[in-house]
Structure 1
Amino acid sequence: MQFRLEKRTEPSKAMLYLAPIGAVLITALVGAIIFSLIGYDGTRAVREIFVTPILNPLKWQDLAVKAAPLVIIAVGLAIGYRANVWNIGAEGQYILGGLAGTGMALLTRDFSGPWILPLMILAGAAGGMAWAVLPALLRTRLQVNEILTSLMLTYVAIQLLNYLVIGPWKDPMGFGFPQTRMFTADQMLPQIVPRTIVHLGVPIAVVVAVIAWFVMGRSVFGYQVKVVGAAPNAARYGGFSINRTIWLALLTSGALAGLAGVLEAAGTFGRMVPSFPTNYGFTAIIVAFLGRLHPIGVIFAGLAMAVTVVGGEVAQTTIQLPAAAVGIFQSMMLFFLLASDLLVRYRIKIVGRRTVEVAP
């Protein structure tokens, strides 16, 4: 007996949008089984990870703050993936955005005024964009796969971060700790909810997603991205430049990753430290696919992923679940999401094995 995949004619919208929900539910079920087998209370682990952050109002501010960078980065990645441009190095672009914003903060440390923060944000977006230039150049000039180059640049960004905070940017009053000076009040994102950690970066993430939704659905650029990704030959026949689209997709995703980086530096951290890389760039890949590469869907996917991050922190405290548990849940979620995508777009067909008799 043999099996083969047969493409469905047209998957229904219900199947397309219910598949991510099914992936999350299956992740919870399998996660409970796995953690039970390794000696933890699997049911409670799933409850702490998926339910507690939603039911506990004190955790809502954490959800908003952690979802914001995921949404911003994932929106940029979704635009690139629509064009079949596979930027895997958003983590490095996120780091460069934070570094560029920090550099601007150090340059303007002796100044004050409302113009400083916008300048830092522009520097952060430019830093992330600059880190995407090399993958775009190598892809369009030498046909080098951007997956490899963008990913390798992430580790270069980490080493650059370590060099700066240990060397020239190190705070002389920091008691020897590898960190920069604290940002001033004019260099920090304002809190939008009093007595919480919810800063201006949260509504900015929503605005970015809405603008991306409008651009992708109502502009020539959005149409160009979709056509190049779905049918390159038709795009070329229609006058769209594939190389230009690659450049635009990579620079846009890099700029948004850099924007997320500077917002984190100016909002959550308040300085640059070696622990700044938080895997947001890699986690956003899951968010982009969980949101069906749709900017509005990315908002909900970002919140769902933030639930697992915050819930993982809760589970570490309440039942001493290992820190790697969050990574396991996120990896399983991506696996089941990809599997559900396969089943939505293809059906498994059983093909009987024929027996051929050979005449003597």
Structure 2
Amino acid sequence: MIKLTPRAQASAKWGYLSPVLAVFLTLIAATVLFWGLGKDPQLALYTFFISPIENWYGITELLVVAIPILLCAYGLALCYRASIWNIGAEGQLLLGAVVATTMALQFVDSDSFWAMPLVLLAGMVGGMLCSGISALLNLRLNCNETLVTIMMNYIALNTLLWAVYGPLKDPSGYNFPESALFGDSSLLPILFEGTRLHFGLLLVILALVIVWVFMSKTFLGFQIKVLGLDKPAARMAGFKEKKLAAMVFLVSGALAGLAGAVIVTGSTGQLIPAISPGYGYSAIIVAFLGRLHPVGITLAGLLIALIFMGGEMSQMVLQLPRAITGILQGLILFFLLSCDVLIRYRIVFTVKLPGFTAAAKH
């Protein structure tokens, strides 16, 4: 017989082992899934997880995909540390891309040094605008932040579609829904010749360091942790709950908006409807899989980026449907939530034989 018994205190060991076990169980489930689809599991796993990064160019592409995911995830981690359930990184990314494009199109024929900083700053402002509306509705009108941020995702998506079919549409683009190509002054520099890996990688490293130091070394970071763990205690300590909540909303939106700006200035060079296959939503999984720690988030972001690349590779090589990417991401989240039960509960195996009872705890 198997039953769960509460632990006296949460297990720190399982806090770290749970994500590892979740990934392992996902690989087992993926093997069964590939077998059920009539594919050789060994070939499918190799195609999905090894083939995309078996050379230098593949590794650089992995980093290109991971950049926007990580920028969104670092911001979301701040919100979740404060127990603010921001589900709107996708919308903040999209609106950031729209505003960044609006700025970039002002510099198409310019070689100004200020073009790139202004485009990136515009993207951050766009993301902050999206998250700021959510913060206002949540903090002033007491609207549920989960529902509000989800709603803003759809508003941002339709704003993007309106922009590429309307005011930002390239008049010389043969009626395709896309903006004009950006000028060279608005494009992120390439770090390695012959690859698409751009300056956004350095922005990710900078964001990693800033978020890590902020959360672990500053008093504001400490206040955010206390707010997330025990709001009544934060109020008794005199922490300004609404100001802290507004700050993490805006910082999260700025990082997601920066991710949108990085995509249009580094990966696509223009605004198109499909700039994001769901990076903002995937960042939610990354934040929790990485245990809201910048280093853990970085490792989880690389894994999710690999799943995106593996999904594309499997479509070309194995003729698997595009939905396989979302299925594997969903499996990771499912197993992570399931394994997290072990943090607060023990699994007790009890074997009853005539005249003898044995129990094992895990």
Q: TM-score, normalised by structure 1?
A: 0.93
Q: Aligned letter for 1:212?
A: V
- Alpha carbons of structure 1 residues 5 and 96: separation in structure 2 relative to 1, 3 Å: farther
Q: Take 1:345 and 1:3, find their aligned partners in 2: how far apart are those partners? A: 13
1:137: how far off? Answer: 1.2
Q: In the alignment, which residue of structure 2 is the partner of 1:265?
A: 264
1:6-48 deviations in whole A, cap 9, x for unaligned? 14414134x3222212211110111110221232323322222
Distance 1:51 1:345 in 2: 35
Q: Please tell me whether residue 11 in structure 1 is matched to residue 21 in structure 2.
A: no
Q: For residues 85 and 147 of structure 1, what CA distance do their matches in structure 2 show? A: 8
Matching of residue 114 in structure 1 with residue 113 in structure 2 = yes
Supply the distance in 2 between the matched residues of 1:273 and 1:30 (Cα, whole angstroms): 35
User: Which amino acid is the alignment partner of residue 183 of structure 1?
Assistant: F
Q: Tell me how far 1:202 sits from its aligned partner.
A: 1.2
After TM superposition, what 4+ stretches of structure 1 lie above 4 angstroms from structure 2? 1-5, 348-351
Letter aligned with residue 81 of structure 1:
Y
Which residue of the partner structure matches residue 358 of structure 1? none
Give the corresponding residue for 2:88. Answer: 89
1:221-236 pair list within 5 angstroms: 221-236=220-235
Tell me what 2:356 maps to: none
Q: Deviations over 1:287-338 (max 9, x none)?
A: 1011110012111111111111111111111111111111111100111111
Distance in 2 (alpha carbons) for counterparts of 1:159 and 1:221: 35
Q: What is the CA deviation profile of residues 175-199 of structure 1, one whole-angstrom value per residue up to 9, with x for unaligned ones?
A: 1111110001000000011111000
- The 5 Å alignment of 1:241-320 reads 241-320=240-319
CA contact (8 A) 2:110 2:183 kept: no
For 1:348 and 1:16, locate their aligned partners in 2 and report how far apart those are by CA, in whole Å.
Answer: 15
Matches within 5 A, 1:342-357: 342-348=341-347
Name the SS of the counterpart of 1:181 in structure 2. coil
Structure 2 gap segments, 5+ residues each: 351-362
Whole-angstrom CA distance in 2 between matches of 1:350 and 1:234:
39
Q: Give the corresponding residue for 1:210.
A: 209
Partner of 1:354: none
1:74 equivalent in structure 2: 73
Aligned counterparts of 1:63 and 1:300: Cα–Cα separation in 2: 12
Letter in 2 for 1:72: L
| Letter of the structure 1 residue corresponding to residue 214 of structure 2 | V
DSSP-derived class of the 1:142 partner? coil
Offset of residue 4 of structure 1: 5.3
Give yes or no for contact 1:80–1:250 (8 Å, CA) kept in 2. Answer: yes
Aligned to 1:33: 32
CA distance in 1, matches of 2:21, 2:349: 24
Cα distance in 2 for residues equivalent to 1:265 and 1:236: 42
Contact residue 8 and residue 347 of structure 1 kept, 8 A: no
Corresponding residue of 1:53: 52
| Aligned equivalent of 1:142 | 141
Q: Is the 1:50–1:307 Cα contact (8 Å) retained in structure 2?
A: yes
How many angstroms does 1:112 deviate by? Answer: 2.1
Aligned partner of residue 159 in structure 2, secondary structure: helix
Q: What is the CA-CA distance between 1:95 and the residue it aligns to?
A: 0.4
Q: Which runs of 5+ in 1 are unaligned?
A: 352-360
CA RMSD, 1 decimal:
1.7
Q: Which stretch of the first structure deviates more once superposed, 273-282 or 262-271?
A: 273-282
Question: Residues 131-172 of structure 1, C-alpha deviation per residue, up to 9 Å, x if partnerless?
Answer: 011211121122211110111111111111111111111111
Inter-partner Cα distance in structure 2 for 1:167 and 1:12: 53
Distance in structure 2 (CA, Å) of the matches to 1:345 and 1:206: 34
The alignment partner of 2:140 has SS state of helix
How far apart are the structure 1 equivalents of 2:236 and 2:92? 33
In the alignment, residue 11 of structure 1 is paired with which amino acid?
S
- The question of whether the paired residues in 1 share the 8 Å contact of 2:26 and 2:331 is answered with yes
Contact 1:4 1:348 in 2 (8 A): yes
Give 1:3 deviation, angstroms: 5.0
> For residue 67 of structure 1, what is the amino acid of its counterpart?
A
Task: Give the AA of the match of 2:32.
Answer: I
TM-score scaled by structure 2?
0.93
Distance 1:72 1:7 in 2: 35
Residue by residue over 1:245-283, the C-alpha shift from the partner in whole angstroms, topping out at 9 and shown as x without a partner, is: 211111111110000000111000100011123200000
Amino acid at match of 1:220: F
Distance across 1 between alignment mates of 2:53 and 2:2: 45
Aligned length: 350
CA distance in structure 2 between the partners assigned to 1:92 and 1:124 by the alignment? 12
Give the structure 2 partner of residue 125 of structure 1.
124
> Distance in 2 between the 1:348 and 1:134 partners?
44
Question: Is 1:165–1:273's contact at 8 Å kept on the other side of the alignment?
Answer: yes
Letter in 1 for 2:227: V
